[in-house]
Amino acid sequence: MNPTRIFILVFLMLLGVAFLAYYNYEYKQSPRALPTLGNPGHKVGNFSFISHNGDTVTHEDVKGKIRVVEYFFTTCKGICPEMNENMTAVHKAFRGDNDIMILSHTVDPDTDTVEQMKRYADKHEAEGNQWLFLTGAKKDLYEMAVRSYLITGLEEKDYNKKITPDFIHSQYFILVDKYNSIRGAYDGTDKEKVEKLIDDIKELKREKPGTSE
């Protein structure tokens, strides 16, 4: 075979290998697109609660951060212990990452005082301000659950459902991005779903600005 033709064939083969390698690299580097839950334009609203550390925590304190949100109560003997065991895995996966916060809201503020929440937080090694256990007025806590985090509409995917129940007992972990959009809801009692949550948080960290704004 003509040496020139051999050279051209080898060159084209190497070019093809280089292209495939670049394509695979870009594919792996590109974040997976996560859905946005809720009606178009829905955003998590403003809030002001008290943390287990006794500090006032508002929407300004979580601005620009990815958040995992749950509703629970410290005396729960049902799903809550399993949920917060799994939430501990989320905390450990991102411990010390300033881009990630966990907000655990009580649904029983009469029982869950700051002192009670502090004991519960210590039990789950929630040091610092990365994982916050929040209490406050029941009306405000429930309004956030229903109108901002859409807790009552998740089962039927009915995001218009604004009925505020007398008691909230939800197993869902809610994933909120840096721009206050809800990007996922995960069964906090299911270890596989919690692993997916951890993977999705990593995807959100890689997501380019403006994707869900």
162: domain CATH number? 3.40.30.10
The answer on 179 and 83 residing in a single domain is yes
Q: Which two tokens stand for residue 151?
A: 């807790």
As for how many domains the chain has, the answer is 2
Name the packing angle between helices 191-206 and 80-93 (round to 10°): 30
Lowest pLDDT segment from 99-108, 118-127, 194-203? 118-127
Q: Which two tokens stand for residue 118?
A: 């502090």
The model's pLDDT over 3-24, given as tens digits with 9 standing for 90+, comes to 665 555 655 565 555 455 444 4
Evaluate whether residue 148 is within a structural domain: yes
Q: Give residue 8's pLDDT.
A: 59
The model's pLDDT over 155-196, given as tens digits with 9 standing for 90+, comes to 767 777 777 888 898 999 999 999 999 999 999 999 999 999
Matching residue, tokens 């995917």: 157
Mean pLDDT of 151-156: 80
| 3-class DSSP state of 198 | helix
Q: Give residue 156's pLDDT.
A: 67
Domain that holds residue 195: 48-206
The answer on 183 and 113 residing in a single domain is yes
Backbone angles phi, psi at 38, to 5 degrees: 95, 175
The answer on 3 and 52 residing in a single domain is no
